Structures are given as C-alpha cells and as structure tokens.
Amino acid sequence: MHRLNEQHVFTTKTLGFLIHPNIPTTSPTLKVADIGAGTGAWLLDVAKDLPTTCDLVGFDLTSSAFPPPDTYPSDVSFKIQDMYLPFPVSEIGTYDVVAVRFVSSAATRAERSRAIANLKTLLKPG
C-alpha cells in the first residue's frame, strides 16, 4: 500500500495537478469516479479541493487497500467493481469525471479495449 501512495505523490508532483485543468470542476454537484482506486490517495486529495456537495466514488477489484470508512469524508465512498465487467445500471451515465491511472501495464490490448468501453458508459451524456 505504501508503494501505491508513493506512486500517487510522484505522479501528482510530476504532472502538477490532480484533475487536468481543462476539465471543468466548478459544479457543486460534480460526480467523480476513480477506477483502480487502491488506497484512495488520489480520491482523498481530490476531495480536499472540491465542495463537500460533490460525490466521489472509488472503484477497485478488491477492498483490501481501501481506507477504513471512519477515515474519509462523507462525500467519498468506495465500491468493489471489476473494470472489465459492465458496471451496474445505477452507475451508467452519472459521472462528470472518470479517472484511471496505473492500470494499463497490467492489461492486454483486448482487456484495455473492454475496460475503456465499460468506463465510457459511466460518463454523463455529452
């Protein structure tokens, strides 16, 4: 888990942002999905920069790295989900931002294509 947190810090310092500046994040009802959330480091940092009226959801294949529920704010939640499988209907078309980091090296080209197709379904129309 320490490695995941270190990757987050290094990448954030290298890029200089959490969410690309061209992506609008001013909506007080912004809904953000973090795919492969792991320890939730990225999502928890994003939560510090957004109003508590936003909805931030971390998805991962397992909950083994998720932080304990009493350590994160009420606008953050975590769910178990395989990105290679279709997401529940309740999640489809509901997210303004879908963040994916550090997952491409662990996937074949066909798996990446399937994951991208699934992840695109999470985005709000338009």
* Ranges under pLDDT 70 in the chain: 1-17, 102-106
pTM of the model: 0.86
- What is the reported pLDDT for 27? 94
> Cα separation of 14 and 5, whole Å?
14
Element (H, E) at 100: strand 97-100
69 burial class (0-12, 13-18, 19+ CB within 10 angstroms)? exposed
Q: What residue ranges do the domains of the chain occupy?
A: 27-120
Q: Would you tell me which CATH number, out of the four given (3.40.50.2300, 2.60.40.350, 3.40.50.150, 3.20.20.70), belongs to the domain 27-120?
A: 3.40.50.150
- Smallest CA-to-CA distance from 83 within 56, 65, 101 is with 101
- What is the reported pLDDT for 4? 57
End-to-end, the C-alpha distance of the chain in Å comes to 36
